[in-house]
Amino acid sequence: MLAEKERYAVWQTMQELHAQGLIYLKSGNISERTASGHVAIKPSGASYERMEVEDIVIVDLQGQVVDGQLKPSSETPMHTLIYRECPEVNAVVHTHAPHALVLASLGLEIPFFCNENLLVGGPVPVTEYACAGTEAIGQAVLRALFGPPRVKAALIRNHGAISVGATLEEATLAAQAVEVLARAYHAALQIGEPTVLTEAQIEELCAVYS
C-alpha cells in the first residue's frame, strides 16, 4: 500500500476530530502531502465510523488517483491547488465545525481577541463565497490565508473552516483553535461587543509566547 504512514496519519486525525465533533456525518476532509509528493486524502462520501486506513486515497497534485479503490473527496481540487501553490504546506484540514459554520454563514471574521488567535497566526478571515467542490473555492481560500496578514486558518463563506500547516499536527491544532475561537466569539457576541486586542497588545502577547 502506497504512503502507508500518511494514510494512517490522515485516518487517525479524522477519527480524533470526529470524536471531538469538528467533523461529522460525511462532511469535512483532511489531507497530507506524502513523501513522494502525492496527496493522501479522505475518500468522497465515506462514513467516519466505517472508514478504514486503506480507504484513504492517494492522488497526484492534479487530483488524479494514483492509488486507492474509492473516489477522492469532492474537495480534492481545493486541496491540490493549495499544495501546488504553497510548497511549504504539507497538510490541509477542512471541517464543518458547528460554531465556525455559524460565523462563516454570517460572514463574520474572528478578530484577534485572545491568546488562542496565536495558534492560527492572527485573526481568522472569511473567504468570499465560491461553490463547494470547485477550484474557485481553493482560490478564495488562498486569498484569505495569504491576506495580509498571512494566517494558518480561514472561515469558508457558507461552508465551514480550513486550516493549513507545515505538518498535520500544526494544521489540526489550528483547526481545533478555530472552533474554540468561533465558540467563544459567538458567545461573546450574544452579550455585547468583544474587546479586540490592539496592535501593541498583540505584539506584547506574541513576544511572550515567541
Q: Among residues 12, 48, 9, which one has the least CA distance to residue 28?
A: 48
Active site residue 75: yes
How far CA 185 is from CA of 103, 132, 139, 152, 172, in Å, comes to 9, 25, 26, 18, 20
Radius of gyration of the chain (CA): 17
Measure the CA–CA gap between 159 and 129, rounded to whole angstroms. 9
The active-site residue, picked from 6, 75, 170, 179, is 75
Q: Among residues 155, 52, 146, 168, which one has the least CA distance to residue 96?
A: 155
Q: Which three cell numbers stand for residue 45?
A: 462520501
Cite the beta strand spans of 13-159 per DSSP E. Answer: 29-33, 39-41, 57-59, 65-67, 91-95, 153-156
Measure the CA–CA gap between 33 and 167, rounded to whole angstroms. 9
Catalytic residue list: 75
